[in-house]
Amino acid sequence: MLPDLIEIVPPARRTDATIVLPGSKSITNRALILAVLARRPVTLRGALWSEDTQAMVDCLERLGFRIGVETDPAEPANRTIMVRGHGGKIPKAGTPGQPIELFVENAGTAARFLTALLCLGQGSYRVSGIPRMHERPQAALVNALRELGYRIDTPNDRLPAVVHGTGPRPGATCTVSVEESSQFASALLLCARIGGWEIGITGANEDELPYVDMTRRLVSEFPWEGGVYEVEADASGASYFWGADWLLRDGGGRVTVTPVPKSGMQADQKFLDLVGRQAWRPTYSRQTDLADSIMTAIVLAPFAPAATHFTDLGRLRVQECERVKALRTELTKCGARVEESGDTLTIHPGLLSGAEIETYNDHRIAMCFGMLGLRVPGIRLRKPACVRKTFPNFFAKLAEIGAVIRDASVGAPLSGDALLAEQEHERRGVKP
């Protein structure tokens, strides 16, 4: 397991590497919800196996769904997951006095998608997570579910919350705001077919909701009568290695990513064209250009030819950590000139130096600065195992590029299982 403090040593020589990507977390957790709603068994191939998806599987099993998991010989961070759906029924339920307890870690997708799913049950369920998940927004979803006619008990419209399921409500209507998160709309859309709900979306233009479009497409294409669904490789995870290729090409190194996400379902697929292939742009928007991968571009920006403006970053403030502040703080530690104005960061080009980076228990902060360590000597990461949330073998992939990952407390290089972000409560029963 990864130690609490690691150092990334850049590759000592020109490196050509091919990185195999794990599956998309966003697609995997959506597909798991659809699979338990399907009428017949569904097999998910290439599904990501990480803290977020494991939290979802654990919760679904507590609800009585039968789920089998097998390793994937093509990628250690993936699994083949077999799900026996119940056509919209939830096998188990608690009572108002003793609800079934569901713990979602810090997985926003699990917290939001399960809250909507539980309304289709016949009983009471308590959803909770780590303290940061209890700070993250949930009110827009709670209000929409109440508008549909369901009872959600929570003193502050956040988690922990008790959901009292009463089954489908054909013809029920609601509107949901996506100003804080598009996951609220996705949660409702995943369950609307079974629930009989009609959903209106407010707070953004339709062309600004790529994750909602992903959800609609999944609902349309999913094998509701049983079958196999192939989970696409993760475009957000790909951005770190497309970024690595961008960082290393001046020295002649090249990093190839496979399989390349091509469906258009993931907004971060655009990173390859907007950053990796085209000339660097003076402005990138979190709303219209890039999704989570805008963080990758922000960390690359000190190597750009001119100052870069990153706009519409408000949603980054209410995710795994206050990401705008975290990016500004940690890049400044490395010597970058960073200006924050409203929800815009401006990054100026300049030389960087190594620093000890606080990851804030945020997988994307850890991966962004891990990527930076391929070019900047002396990058040290605190609590790097937070990458288990979506990419548990991320540092093993960095080592494939030629980086040396050291235990910073003793200076010893890490290899093999020591590079993996071990799950804190590894699920039993996974077939080897």
Length of the chain equals 432
Residue found under tokens 């927004």? 137
Question: Which backbone phi and psi does 219 adopt, to 5 degrees?
Answer: -60, -40
339: β partners: 346
Decide if 292 is catalytic: yes
CA distance 282 to 233: 29
Q: How many C-beta atoms surround the C-beta of residue 429 within 10 A?
A: 8
CA distance 368 to 237: 10
AA letter at 32: L
**List 4, 292, 312, 417, catalytic entry:** 292
Torsional class of 237: left (φ above 0), alpha (ψ -120 to 50), beta (otherwise): alpha
- Omega prior to 259 cis, within 30 of 0: yes
AA letter at 177: S
**379 within 8 A of 369, measured Cβ to Cβ:** yes
**230 within 8 A of 258, measured Cβ to Cβ:** no
Residue found under tokens 């770190």? 240
Residues marked as catalytic: 292
